[in-house]
Structure 1
Amino acid sequence: MDTLALVVVIGVALFFTYTNGFHDSANAIATSISTRALTPRIALGMAAVMNMAGAFLGSGVAKTVSEGLIATPTGRQGMVILFAALVGAIAWNLISWHYGLPSSSSHALFGGLVGAALAGSSTVHWDGVLTKIVLPMFLSPLIGLVLGYLVMVGILWAFRRANPHRAQRGFRMAQTVSAAGMALGHGLQDAQKTMGIVVMALVIADVQDEDDGIPVWVKISCALMLSLGTYAGGWRIMRTLGRRIIELDPPRGFAAETTAASVLYSASYFFHAPISTTHVITSAIMGVGATRRVSAVRWGVAGSIVRGWFITMPAAGGVAALCYWLVHLAVG
């Protein structure tokens, strides 16, 4: 196996992780920044550290990505498929970041994998795509929306007699913890997705067997790149999540982050399902915002975001397929 091809694929995978970090950093900290619970740089630094820690907390999601979506391709064609999949995902990340659209880096990667695999006549495990990707893509935002609403209703009832100023101050402090939990969940989910791709590349190159697990250097590399990307920040998307959907206050920010983190941990540990942190936190923000009044949520903005979710996988898949064909023609 061409060592250069392996190095290139791993390098592109790590660059994808970096774009994932600055694209999705808003997921963990936009609410805390918008409510002034944390300053931007402190929030970014905290999120980077917690992303790093979260990357070491499990491997179930990585296993799903590396084995559950497409058959592990072989030879140089396999490397081209992985390369094309990553290029498709990176392209969509950069496009959506440019327009401030909080789309899913995870689903861009999944779409890229499926598009490149189909272009390369490789086997797609459609049952895995349906049960591990498509169903969670629909269910996790619904759960985030409903759970966010219920959590916020519970907070409003529990603190109905509290001094408003004291409660606001307390929840602003509590957001430090909830934002850290959200960042930890982001690391747990998103770093593992790239780990799965790197493991596939190592298996294709006969560097390791499928059952060998994730090498420590892969965990450290992916965690580090995700953290570096997170610290770079994604200010365009932060504005969309933190202010354009609804003007958040500290209690609602805390409720949204706590809800989203709970969904991320549950999906990772109980179902090994690679869900989107973007989908979950956005829907949770909509849910907690609706407790103020339904019209308080800017549903036009929310609708644009949701439409972006639906085109992410086919758009990334189309770019990946085109990239596969171009590379295949170039290298023969």
Structure 2
Amino acid sequence: MDVSLAQFVAQVVSNPILAVTVLLTLGVIFVNGWTDAPNAIATAVTTRSINIRPAIIMSAVFNFLGVLLMTMINSSVASTISNMVDFGADTQMALVALCAALFSIVVYSVGASIFGIPTSESHSLIAGLTGAALAVQGGLDGVNGQEWIKVIYGLVLSLALGFALGWGICKALTIICANMDRRRTNKAFKYAQIFGAAAMSFMHGAQDGQKFIGVLLLGVAFCNGQPDLVNAAIPIWLMMLCSITMGVGTSVGGEKIIKSVGMDMVKLETFQGFSADLAGAVCILLSTLTGIPVSTTHTKTSAIMGVGAVKRLSAINFSVVKDMMLTWVFTFPGCGLISFVMAKVFMMVF
């Protein structure tokens, strides 16, 4: 399937359900840039390496570049998302169910962001798609187990590898810089952390941008009567559309989330913030190259906990960690159930 921009616009104008699907997808991408992307710059802001407004602008730019460049190099995450569920042979009903899934994601994500709680847009997306597919197929036939298991791999990878890399990098820097002039190292790590925040923003765009590109392509395929994305090519204009939308969402801000992730969990110095950013970026890069969907929030939070553990375990505010973990645990059943119910309602209405 190869879709030109002119063909896409014509389909959106002529098919109201596809138009709603596209608007909802762009809405979810915007919300992702607004609520999830601030995790990438949280530590750099809270260690005062960069002010919040320049940090948000920088993050928006690198989110844009991450979506655009990494999708051109390796689009395996987009393929994983689109192949994770099976909406059945009735592509009209599949498109309606996809609308319901996206609607439920927006409702769930905005509700959580109002309270300043970091949400996992990745898990919201996966839960929403899964709930809708189960509603359409009436059972587990709507889930591709071989692809869905990558979600579990991603959960383990983001938690275990994020923590281990955060601890390892921070421990190594502590040993290397033990006898160095503290003022000089602080100045160097201030700039290093800006680089780390840019790298995290780039990888956030690379990972999450591909997920939503896969959803948009799935909607176009359903509109064309295709139940899957076999031999689908990702056009440049679609990469641009997703990356611009995410960049605009990031520019809106996310001060509550920056405070929750960067300050409330553990107090960080500049070299520790750099360690967390570098660990998170490396973990997300490995996941993206292997086609495993991971959560930026999961990865960054785990890396920060690993860094905090170098000091001492008591340096971590476990009440904040507990709140975040509960949020993640509720995402799959919560968003999945909303999506299941909304899919049933949408299919009856349309």
Query: 1:90: Cα distance to partner?
Result: 1.3
Name the counterpart of 1:224: 244
Name the counterpart of 2:269: 249
| Residues 152 and 73 (structure 1), Cα distance of their counterparts in 2 relative to 1, 3 Å cut | farther
Distance 1:107 1:320 in 2: 13
| Residue 21 in structure 1 maps to residue 30 in structure 2 | no
| Residue 304 in structure 1 maps to residue 304 in structure 2 | no
Structure 1 vs Structure 2 CA RMSD = 1.6
**2:80 pairs with 25, 43, 64, which one?**
64
> Any stretches of 5+ residues in structure 1 without a counterpart?
none
Which of 196-205 and 319-328 deviates more?
A: 319-328
Equivalent residues in 2 for 1:14-93, closer than 5 Å? 14-56=26-68, 57-58=70-71, 59-71=75-87, 74-93=90-109
TM-score w.r.t. the length of structure 2 is: 0.91
1:113-149 C-alpha deviation (Å, 9 max, x unpaired): 000111111621123112x112211232111111101
Name the counterpart of 1:141: 159
| Residues 178 and 285 (structure 1), Cα distance of their counterparts in 2 relative to 1, 3 Å cut | same
Query: 1:73: Cα distance to partner?
Result: 5.4
**2:346 pairs with 313, 321, 327, which one?**
327
Distance 1:162 1:92 in 2: 48
Query: 1:207: Cα distance to partner?
Result: 7.8
| Residue 186 in structure 1 maps to residue 204 in structure 2 | yes
Name the counterpart of 2:5: none
> Any stretches of 5+ residues in structure 2 without a counterpart?
1-10
Distance 1:289 1:96 in 2: 26
**1:274 pairs with 293, 302, 324, which one?**
293
Distance 2:142 2:98 in 1: 13
Name the counterpart of 2:215: 197
Distance 1:217 1:188 in 2: 16
SS of the equivalent of 2:36 reads: helix
Which of 251-260 and 4-13 deviates more?
A: 4-13
Equivalent residues in 2 for 1:87-126, closer than 5 Å? 87-121=103-137, 123-126=142-145
Query: 1:3: Cα distance to partner?
Result: 1.1
Which of 10-19 and 202-211 deviates more?
A: 202-211
Of all paired residues, the percent bearing the same amino acid is 31
Supply the AA of the counterpart residue of 2:112. S
Distance 2:271 2:253 in 1: 24
Supply the AA of the counterpart residue of 1:284. A
TM-score w.r.t. the length of structure 1 is: 0.95
**2:180 pairs with 134, 154, 162, which one?**
162
Distance 2:239 2:311 in 1: 42
Asked if structure 2 preserves the Cα contact closer than 8 Å seen for 1:88 and 1:320, the reply is yes
Supply the AA of the counterpart residue of 2:35. H
Query: 1:71: Cα distance to partner?
Result: 5.0
Corresponding pairs, count: 329
Supply the AA of the counterpart residue of 1:224. I
Asked if structure 1 preserves the Cα contact closer than 8 Å seen for 2:130 and 2:142, the reply is no
| Residue 288 in structure 1 maps to residue 307 in structure 2 | yes
Name the counterpart of 2:8: none
Asked if structure 2 preserves the Cα contact closer than 8 Å seen for 1:66 and 1:72, the reply is no
Which of 143-152 and 114-123 deviates more?
A: 114-123
